[in-house]
């Protein structure tokens, strides 16, 4: 079945290769620089996508085959420990610009899945994982207004993607930084990477003379994807949920670049949760209020040596109704950093070293000391460990906590348009757990290894091969190697 991706790639590759054929002539813009002329096919694509000066539309199709084995280290022996499935994500988008500074965006998405090896034949109503992803939903419906009244002020309102903690000056150029959006990156962790949106309002003040930006963001995210906007082929049960709780939030984010080769960020984040989904499988939401204060520094020590460091402290209160755990006071902290060296050679070699710390709670503690990753529950550094973390946190995917992660990484381009990345991390838990069917008696989570190879055929087609492996340590009761494999084709129009 995995050979199907290669078969599907052939007609797409031929079509886009033809579209990239460059005509021998070139155009000279007013600035005097010569720009390559577009091929007739590419020019036709652009004309179709931009029929008028105020209308732009497009789409993309992402084809994936994924294989996962022993992702949860707590369920062995399990005859359904393997998953082998295809994901077909299709999106179509529309962008209207009636005025120079006013944009309206619309995008719809659907990602049906076809399972060869389901995790189990049935897991309750709406949870068989064998075709219940045949749903279409609006994942972007927003308005953005720039330079309001001539002021350096912009506003965006609606369903939109928001990722905070951008790479900044320290990751400029070709620098690679995996997992740069630490606490705000995905508002819908239960549907994988089908969508990322947050229902929100965002205002930004850009003080160019002071090299400072100030952002304020308000978030109103509901657990079910149909609470605000209708869906096509509405689902029921677990598959209707994008997260386990209704969420409200407020973010104040300041960023300054007045120091040479340095970016300084500071932020305050409020997140209020109300549990909405609870199941007999101990999968459900939390209820509480989380306050996070943090700062980030990104620094270019030279044109080759780059460094970022970010830290945050959390307080508030939280309870877990689905586990019967009453409200506890929160006192938690986290730290994330990366040092990158760019060789700037012909192969674009880059070496990096990462370190991340997320505090955890001791069994029986009167306080909740587990750092909450907020809206960062996505594969920041691992597709595999998102599922392993779910086994640690009662079925909540991507809820990283009680974690120490450090190790080296390397990326290079052996030939044009081909990028290879390899990374290793040693994983520990600051706090050991009481031994049971899930946890062992130690603090070593295990050895983690990741590698990917990405090739860009042209502007409209790229592909990658992806592999991850986890060799569990004594933190877990089970020691079966976990693996994740993926083949992907991504076509854009």
For residue 70, the 8-state DSSP code is S
Q: Are 352 and 338 in contact (CB under 8 A)?
A: yes
Residue 166: what pLDDT? 64
CA-closest candidate to residue 67, choices 483, 479, 488 = 483
CB neighbour list of residue 21: distance below 8 Å, 6 or more residues apart: 39, 41
Task: Please state the domain extents for the chain.
Answer: 54-492
The total of other beta-carbon atoms located within 10 Å of residue 458's CB is: 17
Residue 236: what pLDDT? 67
Regions of the chain where pLDDT drops below 70: 1-35, 73-80, 118-134, 166-180, 235-238, 278-282
CA-closest candidate to residue 376, choices 165, 89, 108, 87 = 165
Radius of gyration of the chain (CA): 23
Residue 78: what pLDDT? 62
CB neighbour list of residue 315: distance below 8 Å, 6 or more residues apart: 291, 329, 330, 331
Residue 280: what pLDDT? 59
Residue 229 tokens read as 């906007």
Distances 69 to 72, 469, 484 between C-alpha atoms, Å: 8, 10, 7
CA dihedral 183, 188, 191, 194 (to 10 degrees): -90
The total of other beta-carbon atoms located within 10 Å of residue 312's CB is: 23
The total of other beta-carbon atoms located within 10 Å of residue 366's CB is: 9
Q: Are 5 and 491 in contact (CB under 8 A)?
A: no
Residue 368: what pLDDT? 94
For helices 40-49 and 3-19, give the axis angle rounded to 10 degrees.
100
Instruction: State whether residue 47 is helix, strand or coil.
Output: helix
What DSSP assignment string belongs to 124-161?
Answer: STT---SSTT--EEEEEEEEEE-SGGGSSEEEEEEEE-
Q: Where are the alpha helices (DSSP H) in 372-435?
A: 384-392
CA-closest candidate to residue 57, choices 17, 6, 96, 103 = 96
Helix (H) or strand (E) holding 476: none
Residue appearing with tokens 């930004």: 204
Widest CA span in the chain: 73
Question: What is the separation of C-alpha 358 from the centre of its chain, rounded to a whole number of angstroms?
Answer: 18
The rounded distance, in Å, linking the Cα atoms of 162 and 147 is: 20
What's the topology of domain 54-492? Porin (2.40.160)
| pTM beyond cutoff 0.75 | yes
């Amino acid at each position: 079945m995995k050979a199907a991706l290669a078969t599907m790639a052939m007609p797409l590759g031929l079509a886009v290769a033809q579209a990239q054929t460059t005509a021998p002539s070139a155009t000279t813009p007013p600035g005097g620089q010569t720009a390559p002329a577009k091929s007739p096919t590419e020019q036709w694509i652009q004309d179709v996508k931009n029929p008028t000066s105020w209308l732009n539309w497009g789409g993309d199709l992402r084809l994936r085959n994924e294989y996962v084995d022993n992702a949860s280290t707590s369920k062995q022996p399990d005859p359904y420990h393997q998953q082998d499935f295809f994901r077909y994500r299709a999106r179509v988008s529309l962008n209207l610009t009636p005025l120079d500074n006013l944009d309206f965006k619309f995008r719809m998405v659907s990602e049906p899945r076809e399972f060869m090896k389901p995790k189990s034949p049935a897991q309750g109503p709406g949870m068989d994982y064998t075709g219940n992803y045949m749903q279409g939903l609006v994942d972007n419906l927003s308005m953005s207004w720039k330079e309001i009244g001539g002021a350096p002020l912009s506003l965006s309102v609606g369903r939109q993607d928001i990722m905070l903690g951008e790479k900044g000056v320290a990751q400029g150029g070709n620098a690679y930084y995996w997992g740069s959006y630490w606490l705000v990156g995905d508002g819908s962790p239960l549907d994988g990477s089908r969508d990322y949106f947050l229902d929100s309002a965002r205002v930004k003040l850009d003080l160019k003379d002071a090299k400072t930006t100030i952002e304020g963001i308000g978030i109103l995210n509901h657990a079910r994807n149909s609470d605000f906007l209708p869906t096509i082929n509405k689902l029921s049960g677990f598959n209707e949920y994008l997260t386990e709780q209704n969420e409200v939030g407020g973010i104040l984010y300041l960023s300054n670049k007045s120091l040479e080769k340095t970016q300084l960020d500071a932020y305050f984040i409020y997140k209020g949760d109300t549990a909405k989904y609870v199941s007999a499988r101990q999968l459900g939401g939390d209820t509480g209020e989380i306050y996070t204060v943090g700062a980030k520094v990104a620094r270019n020590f030279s044109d080759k040596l780059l460094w970022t460091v970010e830290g945050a402290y959390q307080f508030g209160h939280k309870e877990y109704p689905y586990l019967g755990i009453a409200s506890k006071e929160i006192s938690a902290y986290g730290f994330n950093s990366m040092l990158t060296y760019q060789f700037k050679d012909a192969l674009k070699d880059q070496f990096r070293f990462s370190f991340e710390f997320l505090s955890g709670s001791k069994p029986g503690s009167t306080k909740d000391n587990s750092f909450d990753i907020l809206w960062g529950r996505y594969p920041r550094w691992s597709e595999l460990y998102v599922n392993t973390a779910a086994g640690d946190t009662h079925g909540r995917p991507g809820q990283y906590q009680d974690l120490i992660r450090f190790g080296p990484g390397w990326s290079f381009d052996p030939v044009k348009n081909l990028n290879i990345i390899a990374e290793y991390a040693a994983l520990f838990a600051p706090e050991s757990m009481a031994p049971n069917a899930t946890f062992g008696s130690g603090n070593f989570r295990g050895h983690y290894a990741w590698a990917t190879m990405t090739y860009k055929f042209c502007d409209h087609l790229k592909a990658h091969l992806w592999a991850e492996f986890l060799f569990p340590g004594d933190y877990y009761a089970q020691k079966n190697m976990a693996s994740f494999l993926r083949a992907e084709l991504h076509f854009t129009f």
